[in-house]
Structure 1
Amino acid sequence: MRAPFFVFSSRERFDAEIAKQASEACEQITTEMGAEIHDDLIQKLSIFRLYIDRMERSLQHPDEIENIVLKMRGEFQEVVDAVRKISRQLLPAKMEGESFQDTINILCQNMSRGGTDLIHFSGQGETRDIPPSIEIHLYRIVQELINNAFKHSVAWHIWVRLTWQSDALIIEVEDDGTGFHKLDEFIERLRKKHNTLRMRAQVINGTIQYQHGQRGLLATVKYPF
Protein backbone atom coordinates (compact mmCIF):
# COMPACT_ATOMS: atom_id res chain seq x y z
CA MET A 1 0.00 0.00 0.00
CA ARG A 2 2.92 2.34 0.49
CA ALA A 3 4.20 2.31 -3.08
CA PRO A 4 1.39 4.52 -4.50
CA PHE A 5 1.91 6.97 -1.67
CA PHE A 6 5.62 7.27 -2.41
CA VAL A 7 4.97 7.68 -6.13
CA PHE A 8 2.42 10.38 -5.44
CA SER A 9 4.68 12.07 -2.91
CA SER A 10 7.58 12.02 -5.38
CA ARG A 11 5.34 13.48 -8.07
CA GLU A 12 4.22 16.20 -5.66
CA ARG A 13 7.83 17.12 -4.92
CA PHE A 14 8.63 17.13 -8.62
CA ASP A 15 5.67 19.42 -9.42
CA ALA A 16 6.58 21.70 -6.52
CA GLU A 17 10.17 21.93 -7.73
CA ILE A 18 9.00 22.75 -11.26
CA ALA A 19 6.74 25.49 -9.89
CA LYS A 20 9.59 26.89 -7.78
CA GLN A 21 12.10 26.89 -10.64
CA ALA A 22 9.55 28.35 -13.05
CA SER A 23 8.74 31.11 -10.58
CA GLU A 24 12.43 31.98 -10.20
CA ALA A 25 12.88 31.99 -13.98
CA CYS A 26 9.87 34.28 -14.40
CA GLU A 27 11.23 36.59 -11.71
CA GLN A 28 14.58 36.79 -13.52
CA ILE A 29 12.92 37.54 -16.85
CA THR A 30 10.68 40.16 -15.24
CA THR A 31 13.68 41.85 -13.64
CA GLU A 32 15.57 41.90 -16.94
CA MET A 33 12.54 43.26 -18.79
CA GLY A 34 12.11 45.95 -16.13
CA ALA A 35 15.70 47.04 -16.56
CA GLU A 36 15.30 47.10 -20.34
CA ILE A 37 12.13 49.19 -20.07
CA HIS A 38 13.84 51.64 -17.73
CA ASP A 39 17.16 51.90 -19.54
CA ASP A 40 15.88 51.85 -23.10
CA LEU A 41 12.18 52.44 -23.60
CA ILE A 42 11.68 55.16 -21.00
CA GLN A 43 14.75 57.00 -22.27
CA LYS A 44 13.36 56.95 -25.82
CA LEU A 45 9.96 58.19 -24.65
CA SER A 46 11.58 61.00 -22.62
CA ILE A 47 13.09 62.37 -25.81
CA PHE A 48 9.60 63.09 -27.15
CA ARG A 49 9.04 65.57 -24.34
CA LEU A 50 12.17 67.42 -25.44
CA TYR A 51 10.93 67.44 -29.02
CA ILE A 52 7.60 68.92 -27.94
CA ASP A 53 9.39 71.67 -26.00
CA ARG A 54 11.50 72.47 -29.07
CA MET A 55 8.42 72.61 -31.28
CA GLU A 56 6.73 75.05 -28.90
CA ARG A 57 9.78 77.30 -29.10
CA SER A 58 9.93 77.01 -32.88
CA LEU A 59 6.38 77.93 -33.82
CA GLN A 60 7.66 80.79 -35.97
CA HIS A 61 10.11 78.56 -37.82
CA PRO A 62 8.28 75.99 -39.97
CA ASP A 63 11.50 74.55 -41.39
CA GLU A 64 12.80 73.69 -37.95
CA ILE A 65 9.48 72.12 -36.96
CA GLU A 66 9.60 69.96 -40.06
CA ASN A 67 13.06 68.73 -39.11
CA ILE A 68 11.85 67.92 -35.60
CA VAL A 69 8.89 65.96 -36.97
CA LEU A 70 11.21 63.91 -39.17
CA LYS A 71 13.37 63.06 -36.17
CA MET A 72 10.26 62.18 -34.12
CA ARG A 73 9.12 59.74 -36.78
CA GLY A 74 12.43 57.93 -36.62
CA GLU A 75 12.40 57.88 -32.81
CA PHE A 76 8.79 56.67 -32.79
CA GLN A 77 9.71 53.67 -34.95
CA GLU A 78 12.48 52.82 -32.49
CA VAL A 79 9.92 52.93 -29.66
CA VAL A 80 7.61 50.60 -31.60
CA ASP A 81 10.52 48.21 -32.24
CA ALA A 82 11.50 48.29 -28.54
CA VAL A 83 7.93 47.53 -27.42
CA ARG A 84 7.67 44.71 -29.95
CA LYS A 85 10.97 43.26 -28.76
CA ILE A 86 9.88 43.25 -25.11
CA SER A 87 6.49 41.83 -26.03
CA ARG A 88 8.12 39.04 -28.00
CA GLN A 89 10.32 38.07 -25.07
CA LEU A 90 7.43 38.03 -22.60
CA LEU A 91 4.90 36.36 -24.88
CA PRO A 92 6.08 34.62 -28.04
CA ALA A 93 2.89 35.30 -29.99
CA LYS A 94 2.98 33.72 -33.45
CA MET A 95 1.91 35.42 -36.63
CA GLU A 96 -0.41 33.50 -38.93
CA GLY A 97 1.57 30.98 -40.96
CA GLU A 98 4.67 31.45 -38.80
CA SER A 99 6.55 28.24 -38.03
CA PHE A 100 8.39 27.38 -34.84
CA GLN A 101 11.65 27.94 -36.72
CA ASP A 102 10.49 31.44 -37.69
CA THR A 103 9.63 32.14 -34.05
CA ILE A 104 13.09 31.11 -32.82
CA ASN A 105 14.72 33.14 -35.59
CA ILE A 106 12.81 36.23 -34.44
CA LEU A 107 13.75 35.48 -30.81
CA CYS A 108 17.42 35.46 -31.81
CA GLN A 109 17.05 38.78 -33.62
CA ASN A 110 15.32 40.35 -30.63
CA MET A 111 17.89 39.09 -28.12
CA SER A 112 20.93 40.24 -30.13
CA ARG A 113 22.56 43.23 -28.48
CA GLY A 114 23.61 45.44 -31.33
CA GLY A 115 27.14 45.30 -32.64
CA THR A 116 28.72 43.70 -29.56
CA ASP A 117 26.71 40.58 -28.75
CA LEU A 118 25.47 38.77 -31.84
CA ILE A 119 23.26 35.71 -32.22
CA HIS A 120 23.62 33.66 -35.39
CA PHE A 121 20.64 31.53 -36.35
CA SER A 122 20.39 28.67 -38.85
CA GLY A 123 17.86 25.95 -39.65
CA GLN A 124 18.32 22.73 -41.56
CA GLY A 125 15.85 20.10 -42.73
CA GLU A 126 12.13 20.07 -43.38
CA THR A 127 10.19 21.87 -40.64
CA ARG A 128 7.24 20.22 -38.91
CA ASP A 129 4.30 21.43 -36.87
CA ILE A 130 4.83 21.22 -33.11
CA PRO A 131 1.98 21.35 -30.56
CA PRO A 132 1.74 24.79 -28.91
CA SER A 133 2.17 23.22 -25.45
CA ILE A 134 5.54 21.84 -26.62
CA GLU A 135 6.59 24.97 -28.50
CA ILE A 136 6.39 27.19 -25.42
CA HIS A 137 8.75 24.88 -23.48
CA LEU A 138 11.24 24.71 -26.35
CA TYR A 139 11.01 28.49 -26.78
CA ARG A 140 11.74 29.11 -23.09
CA ILE A 141 14.62 26.63 -23.13
CA VAL A 142 16.31 28.44 -26.02
CA GLN A 143 15.60 31.81 -24.41
CA GLU A 144 17.17 30.75 -21.10
CA LEU A 145 20.20 29.19 -22.78
CA ILE A 146 20.86 32.46 -24.64
CA ASN A 147 20.38 34.48 -21.44
CA ASN A 148 22.79 32.20 -19.57
CA ALA A 149 25.41 32.51 -22.30
CA PHE A 150 25.34 36.30 -22.18
CA LYS A 151 25.13 36.48 -18.39
CA HIS A 152 27.49 33.74 -17.21
CA SER A 153 29.72 32.88 -20.13
CA VAL A 154 30.47 36.47 -21.19
CA ALA A 155 29.82 35.43 -24.77
CA TRP A 156 30.30 37.75 -27.74
CA HIS A 157 28.68 35.39 -30.22
CA ILE A 158 26.00 32.73 -29.86
CA TRP A 159 25.01 30.20 -32.50
CA VAL A 160 21.50 28.76 -32.45
CA ARG A 161 21.00 25.84 -34.83
CA LEU A 162 17.80 23.89 -35.51
CA THR A 163 18.11 20.54 -37.26
CA TRP A 164 14.91 18.80 -38.30
CA GLN A 165 15.37 15.04 -38.45
CA SER A 166 12.81 12.40 -39.39
CA ASP A 167 12.24 11.41 -35.76
CA ALA A 168 13.38 14.42 -33.72
CA LEU A 169 14.14 18.13 -33.57
CA ILE A 170 17.69 18.93 -32.48
CA ILE A 171 18.40 22.40 -31.08
CA GLU A 172 21.99 23.46 -30.48
CA VAL A 173 23.02 26.61 -28.64
CA GLU A 174 26.76 27.27 -28.71
CA ASP A 175 28.72 30.25 -27.43
CA ASP A 176 32.26 31.60 -27.61
CA GLY A 177 32.29 32.76 -24.01
CA THR A 178 35.37 32.91 -21.86
CA GLY A 179 33.60 33.25 -18.51
CA PHE A 180 34.22 29.63 -17.58
CA HIS A 181 37.93 28.99 -17.17
CA LYS A 182 37.28 25.41 -16.06
CA LEU A 183 34.74 24.34 -18.65
CA ASP A 184 34.97 20.64 -17.77
CA GLU A 185 34.00 21.29 -14.16
CA PHE A 186 31.17 23.58 -15.24
CA ILE A 187 29.80 21.00 -17.68
CA GLU A 188 29.88 18.38 -14.94
CA ARG A 189 27.87 20.67 -12.63
CA LEU A 190 25.34 21.30 -15.39
CA ARG A 191 24.91 17.58 -15.98
CA LYS A 192 24.10 17.00 -12.32
CA LYS A 193 21.96 20.10 -11.84
CA HIS A 194 18.19 19.58 -11.90
CA ASN A 195 17.26 23.10 -12.98
CA THR A 196 14.42 24.67 -14.97
CA LEU A 197 16.02 23.72 -18.28
CA ARG A 198 16.19 20.05 -17.45
CA MET A 199 12.69 20.08 -15.97
CA ARG A 200 11.22 21.67 -19.09
CA ALA A 201 12.99 19.05 -21.21
CA GLN A 202 11.56 16.26 -19.08
CA VAL A 203 8.04 17.66 -19.31
CA ILE A 204 8.13 17.33 -23.13
CA ASN A 205 9.90 13.96 -22.99
CA GLY A 206 13.05 15.56 -24.34
CA THR A 207 16.68 15.73 -23.26
CA ILE A 208 19.33 18.39 -22.78
CA GLN A 209 23.07 17.70 -22.85
CA TYR A 210 26.18 19.83 -22.37
CA GLN A 211 29.60 19.38 -23.92
CA HIS A 212 32.58 21.17 -25.43
CA GLY A 213 31.77 22.95 -28.67
CA GLN A 214 34.16 24.27 -31.28
CA ARG A 215 34.22 27.66 -29.57
CA GLY A 216 32.93 27.19 -26.02
CA LEU A 217 29.96 25.56 -24.31
CA LEU A 218 27.54 23.61 -26.50
CA ALA A 219 24.05 22.77 -25.22
CA THR A 220 22.05 20.25 -27.25
CA VAL A 221 18.29 19.84 -26.83
CA LYS A 222 16.52 16.87 -28.40
CA TYR A 223 12.75 16.68 -28.78
CA PRO A 224 11.56 13.35 -30.23
CA PHE A 225 8.50 13.36 -32.50
Structure 2
Amino acid sequence: MSEVKIVILGTIAMLLPVSAIIFFVILYYRRQRIQRAAHEEALHEAMLEASVVSQEVVRRQIGGDLHDEIGALLSATRMSLSQMNKFADNESKRKVLLVRTEELLNEALFNVRRISKDLMPSTLDEFWLIEALKDFSQKMTLHTNLPIQFCHDNLNKRYDPKIELSLYRSTQELVNNAIKHAEAKEIKISLKEDKNLLILQVSDDGKGFDLVAINQPSRGIGIKNIESRMSLIKGRIKFDVEIGRGSTFIINVPI
Protein backbone atom coordinates (compact mmCIF):
# COMPACT_ATOMS: atom_id res chain seq x y z
CA MET A 1 0.00 0.00 0.00
CA SER A 2 2.83 2.32 0.81
CA GLU A 3 4.32 1.69 -2.63
CA VAL A 4 1.01 2.70 -4.23
CA LYS A 5 1.01 5.91 -2.20
CA ILE A 6 4.56 6.61 -3.27
CA VAL A 7 3.60 6.11 -6.94
CA ILE A 8 0.57 8.38 -6.55
CA LEU A 9 2.57 11.05 -4.77
CA GLY A 10 5.32 10.78 -7.39
CA THR A 11 2.81 11.10 -10.21
CA ILE A 12 1.26 14.14 -8.54
CA ALA A 13 4.68 15.65 -8.05
CA MET A 14 5.43 15.15 -11.74
CA LEU A 15 2.06 16.51 -12.87
CA LEU A 16 2.21 19.65 -10.77
CA PRO A 17 5.07 21.32 -12.74
CA VAL A 18 3.48 20.25 -16.02
CA SER A 19 0.13 21.66 -14.89
CA ALA A 20 1.83 24.85 -13.80
CA ILE A 21 3.54 25.18 -17.17
CA ILE A 22 0.26 24.57 -19.01
CA PHE A 23 -1.48 27.10 -16.77
CA PHE A 24 1.14 29.78 -17.43
CA VAL A 25 1.13 29.07 -21.19
CA ILE A 26 -2.66 29.45 -21.27
CA LEU A 27 -2.39 32.62 -19.18
CA TYR A 28 0.31 33.99 -21.49
CA TYR A 29 -1.65 33.37 -24.68
CA ARG A 30 -4.80 34.77 -23.09
CA ARG A 31 -2.94 37.92 -22.15
CA GLN A 32 -1.53 38.11 -25.69
CA ARG A 33 -5.04 37.86 -27.15
CA ILE A 34 -6.28 40.60 -24.82
CA GLN A 35 -3.37 42.86 -25.76
CA ARG A 36 -3.84 42.12 -29.46
CA ALA A 37 -7.57 42.84 -29.21
CA ALA A 38 -6.84 46.11 -27.38
CA HIS A 39 -4.30 47.08 -30.05
CA GLU A 40 -6.72 46.28 -32.87
CA GLU A 41 -9.46 48.24 -31.14
CA ALA A 42 -7.14 51.24 -30.70
CA LEU A 43 -6.09 50.99 -34.35
CA HIS A 44 -9.71 50.76 -35.44
CA GLU A 45 -10.59 53.83 -33.36
CA ALA A 46 -7.64 55.75 -34.83
CA MET A 47 -8.69 54.83 -38.36
CA LEU A 48 -12.29 55.77 -37.64
CA GLU A 49 -11.17 59.10 -36.21
CA ALA A 50 -9.01 59.74 -39.28
CA SER A 51 -11.92 58.88 -41.55
CA VAL A 52 -14.27 61.22 -39.67
CA VAL A 53 -11.71 64.04 -39.69
CA SER A 54 -11.06 63.51 -43.39
CA GLN A 55 -14.78 63.59 -44.17
CA GLU A 56 -15.15 66.76 -42.14
CA VAL A 57 -12.26 68.37 -44.05
CA VAL A 58 -13.92 67.44 -47.35
CA ARG A 59 -17.28 68.80 -46.16
CA ARG A 60 -15.68 72.07 -45.07
CA GLN A 61 -13.85 72.36 -48.38
CA ILE A 62 -17.03 71.72 -50.37
CA GLY A 63 -18.97 74.09 -48.13
CA GLY A 64 -16.32 76.76 -48.61
CA ASP A 65 -16.32 76.30 -52.38
CA LEU A 66 -20.12 76.49 -52.53
CA HIS A 67 -20.22 79.60 -50.33
CA ASP A 68 -17.22 81.50 -51.69
CA GLU A 69 -17.50 80.64 -55.37
CA ILE A 70 -20.95 79.35 -56.31
CA GLY A 71 -22.75 81.55 -53.77
CA ALA A 72 -20.88 84.67 -54.85
CA LEU A 73 -21.52 83.97 -58.54
CA LEU A 74 -25.23 83.37 -57.98
CA SER A 75 -25.52 86.57 -55.93
CA ALA A 76 -23.84 88.51 -58.71
CA THR A 77 -26.18 86.87 -61.23
CA ARG A 78 -29.23 87.90 -59.20
CA MET A 79 -27.97 91.48 -59.01
CA SER A 80 -27.35 91.51 -62.75
CA LEU A 81 -30.87 90.24 -63.43
CA SER A 82 -32.42 92.81 -61.09
CA GLN A 83 -30.54 95.61 -62.85
CA MET A 84 -32.02 94.55 -66.18
CA ASN A 85 -35.46 95.66 -64.96
CA LYS A 86 -34.08 99.15 -64.33
CA PHE A 87 -33.10 99.51 -67.98
CA ALA A 88 -36.32 98.35 -69.63
CA ASP A 89 -36.11 101.23 -72.12
CA ASN A 90 -32.36 100.96 -72.77
CA GLU A 91 -31.84 98.05 -75.14
CA SER A 92 -28.05 98.41 -75.43
CA LYS A 93 -27.63 98.41 -71.64
CA ARG A 94 -29.92 95.40 -71.32
CA LYS A 95 -27.80 93.49 -73.87
CA VAL A 96 -24.63 94.26 -71.91
CA LEU A 97 -26.25 93.04 -68.70
CA LEU A 98 -27.57 89.95 -70.45
CA VAL A 99 -24.08 89.03 -71.70
CA ARG A 100 -22.66 89.58 -68.21
CA THR A 101 -25.39 87.44 -66.66
CA GLU A 102 -24.69 84.62 -69.12
CA GLU A 103 -20.96 84.78 -68.32
CA LEU A 104 -21.70 84.57 -64.58
CA LEU A 105 -23.96 81.55 -65.08
CA ASN A 106 -21.37 79.81 -67.26
CA GLU A 107 -18.70 80.37 -64.61
CA ALA A 108 -21.03 79.00 -61.92
CA LEU A 109 -21.70 75.89 -64.03
CA PHE A 110 -17.96 75.42 -64.59
CA ASN A 111 -17.31 75.53 -60.84
CA VAL A 112 -20.15 73.09 -60.13
CA ARG A 113 -18.59 70.63 -62.64
CA ARG A 114 -15.17 71.13 -61.03
CA ILE A 115 -16.52 70.35 -57.56
CA SER A 116 -18.31 67.28 -58.97
CA LYS A 117 -15.10 66.01 -60.52
CA ASP A 118 -13.31 66.46 -57.19
CA LEU A 119 -15.94 64.25 -55.55
CA MET A 120 -15.82 61.55 -58.26
CA PRO A 121 -13.18 61.91 -60.99
CA SER A 122 -14.93 61.52 -64.35
CA THR A 123 -11.92 59.70 -65.82
CA LEU A 124 -12.06 57.09 -63.08
CA ASP A 125 -15.83 56.76 -63.41
CA GLU A 126 -15.86 56.45 -67.21
CA PHE A 127 -12.65 54.54 -67.88
CA TRP A 128 -10.39 52.81 -65.32
CA LEU A 129 -7.68 53.37 -62.74
CA ILE A 130 -4.84 53.49 -65.28
CA GLU A 131 -6.37 56.35 -67.24
CA ALA A 132 -7.33 58.20 -64.06
CA LEU A 133 -3.78 58.04 -62.66
CA LYS A 134 -2.34 59.03 -66.03
CA ASP A 135 -4.71 62.00 -66.23
CA PHE A 136 -3.99 62.97 -62.61
CA SER A 137 -0.20 62.90 -63.07
CA GLN A 138 -0.40 64.96 -66.27
CA LYS A 139 -2.66 67.60 -64.72
CA MET A 140 -0.56 67.87 -61.56
CA THR A 141 2.60 68.24 -63.65
CA LEU A 142 0.93 71.00 -65.65
CA HIS A 143 -0.38 72.87 -62.59
CA THR A 144 2.70 72.55 -60.37
CA ASN A 145 5.57 72.45 -62.92
CA LEU A 146 6.84 69.47 -60.93
CA PRO A 147 7.60 66.34 -63.00
CA ILE A 148 5.20 63.59 -61.94
CA GLN A 149 5.82 60.34 -63.81
CA PHE A 150 3.35 57.49 -64.02
CA CYS A 151 4.16 54.01 -65.34
CA HIS A 152 2.46 50.62 -65.32
CA ASP A 153 3.05 47.08 -66.56
CA ASN A 154 0.73 47.28 -69.58
CA LEU A 155 -2.34 46.91 -67.40
CA ASN A 156 -5.53 47.36 -69.39
CA LYS A 157 -8.41 46.14 -67.26
CA ARG A 158 -10.77 47.39 -64.62
CA TYR A 159 -10.68 46.42 -60.96
CA ASP A 160 -13.25 46.50 -58.20
CA PRO A 161 -14.59 50.11 -57.99
CA LYS A 162 -13.74 50.26 -54.26
CA ILE A 163 -10.14 49.30 -55.00
CA GLU A 164 -9.83 51.80 -57.84
CA LEU A 165 -11.25 54.68 -55.81
CA SER A 166 -9.17 53.86 -52.71
CA LEU A 167 -5.93 53.68 -54.70
CA TYR A 168 -6.75 56.86 -56.61
CA ARG A 169 -7.54 58.83 -53.43
CA SER A 170 -4.43 57.44 -51.71
CA THR A 171 -2.30 58.54 -54.66
CA GLN A 172 -3.81 62.01 -54.47
CA GLU A 173 -3.04 62.18 -50.75
CA LEU A 174 0.57 61.01 -51.14
CA VAL A 175 1.32 63.26 -54.12
CA ASN A 176 -0.22 66.31 -52.44
CA ASN A 177 1.81 65.62 -49.29
CA ALA A 178 5.00 65.36 -51.35
CA ILE A 179 4.24 68.66 -53.09
CA LYS A 180 3.31 70.52 -49.89
CA HIS A 181 5.83 69.16 -47.42
CA ALA A 182 8.64 67.16 -49.04
CA GLU A 183 10.09 69.90 -51.30
CA ALA A 184 10.49 67.20 -53.93
CA LYS A 185 11.85 67.84 -57.42
CA GLU A 186 10.33 64.70 -58.89
CA ILE A 187 7.54 62.27 -58.01
CA LYS A 188 7.09 58.79 -59.44
CA ILE A 189 3.92 56.69 -59.45
CA SER A 190 3.87 53.07 -60.55
CA LEU A 191 1.22 50.37 -60.69
CA LYS A 192 1.74 46.66 -61.32
CA GLU A 193 0.33 43.22 -60.65
CA ASP A 194 2.29 40.51 -58.87
CA LYS A 195 0.47 37.20 -58.54
CA ASN A 196 -2.75 38.07 -56.72
CA LEU A 197 -1.65 41.54 -55.62
CA LEU A 198 -2.11 44.98 -57.13
CA ILE A 199 0.89 47.07 -56.10
CA LEU A 200 0.90 50.87 -56.11
CA GLN A 201 4.14 52.72 -55.36
CA VAL A 202 4.52 56.46 -54.87
CA SER A 203 8.02 57.83 -54.32
CA ASP A 204 9.66 61.26 -54.23
CA ASP A 205 13.17 62.68 -53.92
CA GLY A 206 12.26 65.17 -51.20
CA LYS A 207 13.55 65.81 -47.70
CA GLY A 208 11.65 62.95 -46.03
CA PHE A 209 10.03 63.05 -42.61
CA ASP A 210 9.91 61.40 -39.20
CA LEU A 211 7.22 58.70 -39.42
CA VAL A 212 6.95 58.42 -35.62
CA ALA A 213 6.30 62.15 -35.25
CA ILE A 214 3.84 62.15 -38.13
CA ASN A 215 1.86 59.31 -36.53
CA GLN A 216 1.27 61.16 -33.28
CA PRO A 217 -2.44 61.58 -32.39
CA SER A 218 -2.40 65.27 -33.31
CA ARG A 219 -0.75 64.72 -36.71
CA GLY A 220 -0.63 62.29 -39.60
CA ILE A 221 -4.31 62.43 -40.52
CA GLY A 222 -3.43 61.89 -44.19
CA ILE A 223 -1.53 58.67 -43.55
CA LYS A 224 -4.13 57.40 -41.08
CA ASN A 225 -6.79 58.11 -43.66
CA ILE A 226 -4.91 56.00 -46.22
CA GLU A 227 -4.63 53.18 -43.68
CA SER A 228 -8.36 53.49 -43.07
CA ARG A 229 -9.02 53.19 -46.80
CA MET A 230 -6.77 50.14 -47.01
CA SER A 231 -8.58 48.41 -44.16
CA LEU A 232 -11.78 48.54 -46.22
CA ILE A 233 -10.21 46.70 -49.18
CA LYS A 234 -7.88 44.44 -47.14
CA GLY A 235 -4.84 46.33 -48.38
CA ARG A 236 -1.59 47.23 -46.63
CA ILE A 237 0.71 50.21 -46.88
CA LYS A 238 4.46 50.07 -46.24
CA PHE A 239 6.69 53.08 -45.56
CA ASP A 240 10.32 53.59 -46.48
CA VAL A 241 10.96 57.04 -45.03
CA GLU A 242 13.42 58.95 -42.93
CA ILE A 243 14.53 62.56 -42.49
CA GLY A 244 17.04 63.72 -45.09
CA ARG A 245 16.10 61.55 -48.05
CA GLY A 246 13.21 60.77 -50.32
CA SER A 247 10.13 58.82 -49.31
CA THR A 248 8.59 55.67 -50.78
CA PHE A 249 5.11 54.34 -50.08
CA ILE A 250 4.07 50.88 -51.26
CA ILE A 251 0.45 49.77 -51.19
CA ASN A 252 -0.46 46.11 -51.68
CA VAL A 253 -4.08 45.15 -52.40
CA PRO A 254 -5.31 41.59 -52.98
CA ILE A 255 -7.27 41.16 -56.22
CA change 1:47–1:162 in 2 (3 A) is same
Of structures 1 and 2, the larger Rg is shown by: 2
In structure 1, what is the equivalent of residue 167 of structure 2? 138
CA contact 2:191–2:200 (8 Å) conserved in 1? yes
Name the SS of the counterpart of 1:11 in structure 2.
helix
Structure 1 residue aligned with 2:112? 83
2:94 counterpart (65, 68, 71)? 65
Number of equivalenced pairs: 211
What is residue 239 of structure 2 aligned with on the other side? 209
Work out the CA distance in 1 between the residues paired with 2:106 and 2:228: 39
Partners in 1 of 2:63 and 2:112 — Cα distance?
A: 12
Give distance in 2, aligned partners of 1:175 and 1:83. Answer: 35
2:111 and 2:246 map into 1 onto residues whose CA distance is 30
Aligned twin of 2:192: 165
Change in 2 beyond 3 A, CA 1:191/1:9: closer
Distance in 1, Cα, partners of 2:53 & 2:84: 46
With the length of structure 1 as denominator, give the TM-score of the two structures.
Answer: 0.68
**The residue matched to 1:164 in structure 2 has which SS?**
strand
Counterpart code for 1:72: T
Which amino acid letter does the alignment assign opposite residue 200 of structure 2? Answer: I
**Runs of at least 5 residues in structure 2 that lack an aligned partner in the other structure:** 1-25
Q: Deviations over 1:118-144 (max 9, x none)?
A: 676654332332212222322332333
- 1:146 is displaced (CA, Å) by 4.8
Q: Which has a greater percent of helix?
A: 2
* Aligned residue type for 1:22: S
Distance 1:201-1:159 versus aligned 2 partners, 3 A rule: farther
Q: Using a 3 Å threshold, how does the CA distance of structure 1 residues 165 and 140 change in structure 2: closer, same or farther?
A: closer
Alpha-carbon distance between aligned partners in 1 of 2:58 and 2:241, rounded to the nearest angstrom: 26
Deviations 1:67-86 (A, max 9, x none): 33333333222212212222
1:96-111 mapped onto 2 (5 Å cutoff): 97-104=126-133
Residue type of the alignment partner of 1:30: R
Say which of 112, 121, 124 aligns to 2:151: 124
Counterpart of 1:153 in structure 2 is 181
Where structure 1 has 5 or more consecutive residues not aligned to the other structure, the ranges are 177-182
Residue 87 of structure 2 aligns with an amino acid whose one-letter code is: S
Provide, for residues 147-182 of structure 1, a one-character-per-residue CA deviation record: whole Å limited to 9, x for no partner: 5456x5397x99765423342443426597xxxxxx
Query: Is the CA contact (8 Å cut-off) linking 1:41 and 1:79 kept in structure 2?
Result: yes
